[in-house]
């Protein structure tokens, strides 16, 4: 374990020493699990929507090759990002909608991976009118038991929405009319897929809305995965809001263990008030040492 991580763990020993041993051990075990957690993120969507480009924008080192000509992610790309000694796995799925035979093979691949992914980023393209393949594939996965909360939809290539000539190349922003059209597209996604997380319009190549989307992405992850993913983001995406979100999720996980233990103890009155104070103190230390742990 790096020195800085050990420093973070040491800072927790004192507030944990006031708790019953079994509880402090359970919390430490959970914290170790989060620190060493190896998140797995899937990226799905039609060919050419910009799945690989989004991965390359968010993470360092660039994990996926990008093609302007034809579908280039023919097999699942498993990109292991290592910020030694920690690992993040990106599963870059081949794009759906190339041919019916390939789609059948790909749907099988998606199903095989579903249970292993912390989150699936589903990329749609702003200037695309035909989302039938996406709807069919998504509905099939949901009918086979996939949890809708495990999908984060994103509308990429916002710069291509009509009138695309109005895109401001200097500020990398859409015109007013483009903004309105993007809102219509987002409303369509909300109606068609009933997404559980906010849908944002972004442009991977223009860097438009990517900071806000990185925040949405970290918020959509399960509590135990968000800090480990934040650690691997390109430094420019590790904004204050992103870090706050990861800290909140991490502290919430520790809080749940505390609450479950308190519930099992069935204590009342003064003892409960004391435990609540210890909980508050522990969680503020947990948040404070986050930078050392991740
Ligand atoms: N204008 C614009 N082009 C983009 C954007 N994102 C990606 N592209 C381009 O779109 C093309 C396809 O991008 P990829 O990232 O290879 O798409 P993909 O979804 O990984 O495609 P497959 O691997 O075939 O499934 C490339 O030429 C990218 O440079 C964007 O936001 N705006
Ligand atoms: Mg690709």
CA of 286 to the centre of ligand 2 (A): 38
pLDDT at 238: 96
Q: Pick the range with the lowest mean pLDDT from 98-107, 182-191, 235-244.
A: 98-107
pLDDT in tens, 33-74: 999 999 999 999 988 999 989 988 998 765 655 555 455 555
- Classify the C-alpha dihedral 23-28-34-38 as positive or negative: negative
- Extract the tokens encoding 289: 């040492």
| 219, 245 Cβ separation under 8 angstroms | yes
Residue minimizing CA distance to atom 8 of ligand 1:
50
For the residues 18-44, what does the mean pLDDT come to?
91
**Is any ligand 1 atom within 6 A of the Cβ of residue 49?**
yes
Looking at the CA of residue 53, tell me the nearest atom of ligand 1.
Answer: 15
Task: Outline where 17-155 has alpha helix (H).
Answer: 21-36, 51-58, 100-114, 132-143
What's the burial of 237, exposed, middle or buried (CB within 10 Å: 0-12/13-18/19+)?
A: buried
pLDDT at 109: 78
| Helix count and strand count (H, E) for the chain | 11, 6
Phi, psi of 261 (to 5 degrees): -65, -40
Residue 163 CB partners (closer than 8 Å, separation 6+): 175, 177, 178
CA of 68 to the centre of ligand 1 (A): 7
In this structure, the number of other CB atoms found within 10 A of the CB of residue 107 comes to 16
Residue with tokens 């994990």: 63
pLDDT at 98: 67
pLDDT at 29: 93
pLDDT at 82: 66
For the residues 154-159, what does the mean pLDDT come to?
98
Angle at 172 between CA 166 and CA 174, to 5 degrees: 40
**Is any ligand 1 atom within 6 A of the Cβ of residue 257?**
no
Instruction: With a cut of 80, say whether residue 166 has pLDDT above it.
Output: yes
With pLDDT > 70 as the criterion, what percentage of the chain qualifies? 91
Question: Pick the residue with more confidence: 156 or 115?
Answer: 156
With pLDDT > 90 as the criterion, what percentage of the chain qualifies? 60
pLDDT at 162: 96
């Amino acid at each position: 374990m790096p020195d800085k991580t050990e420093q973070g763990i040491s800072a927790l020993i004192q507030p944990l020493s006031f708790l019953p041993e079994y509880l402090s051990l359970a919390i430490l075990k959970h914290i170790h699990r989060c620190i060493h957690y190896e998140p797995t993120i899937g990226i799905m969507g039609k060919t050419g929507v910009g799945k690989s480009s989004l991965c390359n924008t968010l993470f360092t080192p660039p994990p996926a090759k990008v093609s302007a000509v034809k579908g280039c992610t023919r097999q699942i790309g498993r990109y292991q990002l290592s910020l030694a000694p920690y690992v993040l796995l990106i599963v870059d799925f081949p794009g759906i909608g190339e041919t019916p035979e390939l789609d059948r093979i790909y749907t099988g691949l998606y199903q095989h991976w579903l249970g292993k992914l912390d989150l699936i980023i589903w990329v749609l393209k702003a200037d695309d009118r035909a989302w039938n393949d996406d709807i069919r594939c998504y509905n099939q996965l949901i009918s086979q038991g996939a949890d809708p909360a495990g999908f984060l939809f994103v509308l990429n290539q916002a710069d291509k929405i009509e009138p695309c000539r109005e895109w401001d190349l200097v500020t990398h922003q859409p015109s007013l009319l483009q903004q309105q059209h993007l809102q219509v597209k987002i409303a369509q996604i909300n109606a068609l897929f009933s997404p559980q997380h906010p849908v944002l319009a972004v442009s991977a190549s223009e860097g438009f809305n990517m900071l806000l989307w990185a925040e949405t992405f970290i918020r959509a992850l399960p509590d135990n995965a968000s800090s480990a993913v934040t650690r691997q983001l390109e430094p420019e995406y590790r904004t204050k809001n992103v870090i706050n979100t990861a800290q909140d999720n991490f502290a919430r996980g520790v809080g749940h263990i505390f609450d479950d233990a308190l519930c099992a103890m069935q204590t009342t009155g003064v003892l409960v008030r004391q435990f609540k104070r210890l909980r508050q103190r522990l969680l503020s230390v947990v948040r404070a040492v986050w930078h050392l742990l991740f």
